[in-house]
Structure 1
């Protein structure tokens, strides 16, 4: 005989997860939105990937100040005078900031915008050589 576990709140949880996810990336008070970002670390670098579909690279700005990387820009509205039945994509300006660790090489950061994903590769700095002992003769 098999037992079937019934969770009466499963559908409710699914509904909240589906409809709250877009709201988590939107601040209604400022009309700004925040693109979803993945941050990955490997032995050589940190990689930040941001979903920026539909935003030309000229409308994206990446800057570093005091080890804080800021990604900002704007997705311009495509809404004209047509009748829209649904608008789910966010439009307007955005800004995301990330504190960077001390062990990065700011001079060699690379940025690539491909298929709507901006990838920032932030290389780790080479470790400083340890103190060299000098023999006294």
Structure 2
């Protein structure tokens, strides 16, 4: 899962897993108004946000990892070992 979260800090983003649901939440804080700068229009939402995803049946929730770099949150959902295909060696009798 990738989420673009420009101008957010790592501490403003929270990733949780509960009952097979991965939730990304956080808060985009209002910027201080600079008296010398005026904007005609700003198209960026501020405040809290929440987005939830149901984990696939073959995801291993105990090994989920999240990385946050340059405003991009990447969540890795590895497959569980029992979901991966296995090759079985056939012996000749």
Q: TM-score range, shorter-chain basis?
A: 0.7 to 0.9
Match of 2:15 in 1: 62
Match of 2:31 in 1: 78
Structure with greater proportional helix content? 1
Q: CA deviation at 1:81?
A: 5.8
**5+ residue gaps in structure 1?**
1-47, 129-137
CA offset digits 1:86-131 (Å, max 9, x no partner): 1111111100000111211111111111121100001010116xxx
Q: Is 2:71 the partner of 1:116?
A: yes
User: How many pairs were matched up?
Assistant: 83
| Aligned alpha-carbon RMSD (Å) | 2.0
Distance in 1 (CA, whole Å) between partners of 2:63 and 2:55 is 14
CA 58–72 in structure 1, closer or farther in 2 if over 3 Å, else same: same
TM-score (norm 1): 0.55
Q: Is 2:85 the partner of 1:105?
A: no
More divergent stretch after superposition (85-94 vs 73-82): 73-82
Whichever of the two has the greater Rg, that structure is 1
Secondary structure at the aligned position of 1:127 is classed as: helix
**2:6 pairs with one of 50, 53, 59:** 53
TM-score (norm 2): 0.79
Distance in 1 (CA, whole Å) between partners of 2:79 and 2:61 is 9
**5+ residue gaps in structure 2?**
84-93
